[in-house]
Amino acid sequence: MEGMKHFVFVDAACFGEWPWFKVRIPLQAAGHLITTIDMGTRALNAKSFDDIYPLSNFMEPLLKFLASLNADDKVILVGHSYGGISIALAMEKFPQKVSVGVFVSAFMPTYKSSPGALIEEYLNRTPLESLMDCRLKFDNGVDTIQSSICFGPEYMKAKVFKNCTESIVEIANQKVRTTKFCKEDISKDSPLTKERYGSIDRIYVMCGDDEVIEPEFQREMIENDPPKEVFTIRGADHMPMLSKVEELSKILEDIAYKY
């Protein structure tokens, strides 16, 4: 179909690909091809929690998929939250396969420093008490920053899914999983380069009512390494694909038309 683009959605911390189910509908209706990548956080994935660590194992589903594409195929990579780290590393590995990277209220690293530095900055600036009932693990002692997290029910209701329906929050409680940050791998010398990752257009979608990655932190990432375009969804919580479906879908359709 003329004008058809291939969207590849990458999951975020603590969830598989299920949050994208509402966005799939309008994009598929518009004729676009949709692929969602399970990075190993869902129960349906055969890998155990320990198996999806280190980073090379965690990234395997996405890199394997991109490697399987034909030489002339290009995709629009969409990463949400921690998924921004995943798509950045994939853009570095397969720059020829990616037409544009879309960061939806996501961590957007720069090639000037390691992705781990960005995660550490975020965690250091996030008071533990603000994480409410989240379950945290500290591999290197309680005086260090956390190595993994599993969102708690109260935290999800109050912050992650704050503008979503009760039925969505109920699904989230059933789907939530523990996610490791793989800090040891992504804290090494930056695996991102100007020639590869830096050569691909990036789009940032800001969520104005996000209490997980707050707007101030989103703006700092944008200012540190400005993307090609910035879209803002006012009133969007951390999960715009569920709370602002129409607005996010329209932005993604606009991106497909432009890129």
Highest average pLDDT, of 51-60, 113-122, 219-228, comes from: 219-228
Please say if 86 is a catalytic residue: no
- Confidence grade of residue 146 (pLDDT, cut at 50, 70, 90): low
What is the reported pTM?
A: 0.91
Residue 156 has pLDDT above 80, yes or no: yes
- What pLDDT is recorded for position 142? 53
- What pLDDT is recorded for position 180? 76
Please say if 6 is a catalytic residue: no
- Confidence grade of residue 158 (pLDDT, cut at 50, 70, 90): very high
Distance CA 205, CA 232 (A): 6
Distance CA 96, CA 195 (A): 12
- Confidence grade of residue 178 (pLDDT, cut at 50, 70, 90): confident
Spacing of C-alpha 16 from chain mean position: 11
Task: Considering the candidates 148, 238, 243, 249, report the single residue annotated as catalytic.
Answer: 238
Please say if 210 is a catalytic residue: yes
According to DSSP, the β-strands at 179-180 and 202-207 are unpaired
Q: Say which residues have a Cβ less than 8 Å from residue 216's Cβ, sequence separation at least 6.
A: none
**132's torsion region: left (phi>0), alpha (psi -120 to 50) or beta?**
left
Task: Considering the candidates 185, 210, 243, 249, report the single residue annotated as catalytic.
Answer: 210
Residue range 125-132: mean pLDDT, rounded: 93
Of 205, 249, 193, 209, nearest in space to 230 by CA: 205
The CATH H-level superfamily of 6-258 is: Alpha/Beta hydrolase fold, catalytic domain (3.40.50.1820)
- What pLDDT is recorded for position 141? 54
Residue 236 has pLDDT above 60, yes or no: yes
Q: Which of 39-48, 136-145, 199-208, 215-224 has the lowest mean pLDDT?
A: 39-48
Task: Considering the candidates 81, 86, 114, 243, report the single residue annotated as catalytic.
Answer: 81
- Confidence grade of residue 208 (pLDDT, cut at 50, 70, 90): very high
Of 88 and 186, the one with more pLDDT: 88
Domain range summary for the chain, segments of one domain joined by +: 6-258
